[in-house]
């Protein structure tokens, strides 16, 4: 059976909003009664759960941040006794304590359903073979996708990340039709495949579900042509669930957010005011069905915008635009705001280089500088000094004209920028060190 929950996914919006309000009210009550942090925050704001009488009242509730999860480390945000928690995940982050999330059996079941819906969005059925190269472990990627694939009834290959040659062999030998991993790792898999003389025609892949890090539209085109697949953008975060919070369908026109399980808002990260649909700002999520770790107005730092019209696929849930970056990812250099994904888009338009890059920001003599490390294509003649100079100045000029920013470009040999089987590290900001 294909996994397509039409009565929920195409629900009339008024009906959806009635459902959301009901679920929100019971979530708030439970959070207030069971989680001291929420009780304190609500009391400080002079709000009781029963004051929320409509969905628009949500905007009066206090936000929750990553720091709140760190401050209550490890289990302070849990709203159920440990006896009812059947799974724990954690996300490390670069600083401070990890953020920990728990799941009840019913949370896991809901998560599997949402991931099954997500896979179904890309046309995947039980007849598919799904190669999961997201990391298995505390990271939610591997297990999150895994359980959704099983719920769908597909055949799952739980490879996890790493050992890329083996990934290529397994893709070929098992005939996987679906690839799930970060977009940067997918690119690396294709690079290793070509070194092994394995062409897209030797593989049976037809769709990829890529997420866990920002990527650009040009990267989509690159991956689609390298593998001969549809590349679908999937979004999620452990604090809200993991993968399965939102996904594109084959229309590739925004990511459907499963609104029967979360309420999504966009706020202005400076003023904290809710922004109207269509305006870019910071994504904020409230879970309305989670038992173990209800999360209220979680500030993601991810930048996107919302649209609520019906998608051509028939789904009525809100869609968010591709994440363009994070508010804490934005590099401000000499007053210019730059997101790594903008640089990525520019690089993908230039011939002779690969989309493997790193942005190194430094401060010299009080002035901020960006050095852009870019790998040349294996076919490029790296010993040709004049060609190299020409390539470097093309990139510099493109970045200057698109972003209004002057950068230093350092072209490096193929395979010199470190590959990761998880999230790629695009920015090295030496100013903070």
Q: Which residues bind ligand DLL (CB under 6 A)?
A: 91, 134, 139-141, 211-214, 233-238, 242-243, 300, 302, 323, 326
Nearest distance, CB of residue 122 and ligand DLL, angstroms = 13
Beta bridge partners of 411: 374
Nearer Cβ to ligand DLL (99/104): 99
Nearer Cβ to ligand DLL (49/142): 142
Nearest distance, CB of residue 409 and ligand DLL, angstroms = 25
Nearest distance, CB of residue 302 and ligand DLL, angstroms = 5
Nearer Cβ to ligand DLL (11/212): 212
Nearer Cβ to ligand DLL (102/141): 141
Nearest distance, CB of residue 195 and ligand DLL, angstroms = 26
Nearer Cβ to ligand DLL (45/251): 251
Conformation bin of residue 190: beta by default, left when phi > 0, alpha when psi is -120 to 50: alpha
Q: Greatest CA span in the chain, whole angstroms?
A: 71
Taking CA atoms, 149 is separated from 97, 122, 126, in Å, by 31, 12, 8
Q: Which long-range contacts (CB under 8 A, 24 or more apart) does 374-379 make?
A: 374/347, 374/409, 374/410, 374/411, 374/412, 375/411, 375/412, 375/413, 375/414, 375/415, 375/416, 375/417, 376/352, 376/411, 376/412, 376/413, 376/414, 377/352, 377/353, 377/414, 378/414
Q: Is 391 exposed, middle or buried (0-12, 13-18, 19+ CB in 10 A)?
A: buried
Question: How many Å from the N-terminal Cα to the C-terminal Cα in the chain?
Answer: 54
Nearer Cβ to ligand DLL (42/139): 139
Is residue 48 helix, strand or coil?
coil
Nearest distance, CB of residue 212 and ligand DLL, angstroms = 3
- What is the DSSP-derived secondary structure letter of residue 356? E
Nearer Cβ to ligand DLL (325/392): 325
Nearest distance, CB of residue 316 and ligand DLL, angstroms = 21
Helix (H) or strand (E) holding 16: helix 13-34
- Where do the H-state alpha helices sit in 307-339? none
Cis amide prior to 152 (ω within 30 degrees): no
Nearer Cβ to ligand DLL (178/409): 178
Nearer Cβ to ligand DLL (315/322): 322
Nearest distance, CB of residue 354 and ligand DLL, angstroms = 21
Nearest distance, CB of residue 31 and ligand DLL, angstroms = 20
Nearest distance, CB of residue 394 and ligand DLL, angstroms = 28
Nearer Cβ to ligand DLL (343/391): 343
Show the tokens assigned to 209: 């579900």
CB 293 within 8 A of CB 356: no
Nearest distance, CB of residue 44 and ligand DLL, angstroms = 26
CB 139 within 8 A of CB 426: no
Gap between the Cα atoms of 294 and 339, Å rounded: 31
Report the residue closest to ligand DLL, judged by CB: 211
Gap between the Cα atoms of 77 and 243, Å rounded: 20
Strands 178-181 and 207-211: parallel
- What is the DSSP-derived secondary structure letter of residue 97? S
């Amino acid at each position: 059976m294909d996994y397509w929950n039409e009565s929920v996914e195409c629900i009339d919006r008024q009906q959806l909003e009635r459902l959301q309000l009901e679920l929100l009210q019971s979530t708030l009550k439970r959070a207030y009664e069971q989680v001291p942090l929420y009780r304190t925050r609500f009391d400080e704001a002079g709000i009781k759960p029963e004051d929320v009488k409509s969905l628009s009242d949500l905007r009066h509730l206090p936000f929750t941040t990553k720091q709140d999860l760190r401050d209550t480390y490890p289990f302070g945000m849990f709203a159920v006794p440990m006896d009812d928690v059947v799974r724990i995940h954690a996300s490390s982050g670069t600083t401070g304590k990890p953020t920990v999330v728990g799941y009840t059996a019913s949370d896991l079941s809901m998560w599997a359903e949402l991931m099954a819906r997500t896979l179904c969005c890309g046309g995947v059925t039980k007849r598919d073979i799904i190669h999961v190269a997201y990391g298995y472990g505390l990271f939610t990627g591997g297990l999150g996708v895994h359980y959704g694939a099983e719920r769908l009834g597909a055949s799952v290959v739980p490879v996890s990340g790493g050992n890329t040659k083996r990934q290529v062999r397994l893709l070929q030998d098992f005939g996987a039709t679906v690839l799930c991993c970060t977009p940067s790792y997918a690119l690396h898999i294709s690079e290793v495949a070509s070194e092994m003389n394995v062409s897209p025609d030797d593989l049976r892949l037809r769709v990829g579900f890529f997420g866990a890090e920002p990527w650009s539209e040009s990267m989509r085109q690159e991956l689609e042509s390298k593998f001969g697949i549809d590349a679908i953008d999937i979004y999620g975060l452990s604090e809200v669930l993991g993968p399965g919070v939102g996904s594109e369908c084959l229309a590739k026109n925004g990511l459907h957010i499963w609104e029967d399980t979360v309420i999504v808002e966009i706020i202005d990260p400076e003023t904290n005011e809710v922004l109207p649909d269509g305006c870019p700002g910071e994504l904020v999520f409230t879970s309305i069905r989670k038992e173990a770790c209800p999360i209220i107005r979680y500030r993601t730092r991810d930048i996107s915008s919302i649209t609520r019209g019906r998608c051509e696929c028939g789904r009525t849930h809100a869609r968010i635009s591709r994440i363009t970056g994070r508010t804490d990812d934005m590099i401000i250099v000499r007053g210019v705001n730059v997101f790594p994904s903008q640089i990525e888009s520019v690089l993908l338009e230039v011939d002779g280089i690969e989309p493997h890059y790193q942005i190194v920001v430094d401060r010299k003599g009080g002035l901020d500088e960006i050095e852009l490390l870019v790998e040349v294509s294996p076919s490029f003649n790296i010993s040709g000094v004049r060609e190299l100079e020409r390539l470097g100045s093309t990139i510099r000029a493109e970045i200057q004209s698109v972003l209004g920013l002057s950068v230093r470009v350092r072209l490096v040999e193929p395979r010199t920028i470190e590959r990761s089987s998880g999230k790629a590290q695009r920015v090295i900001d030496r100013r903070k060190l």
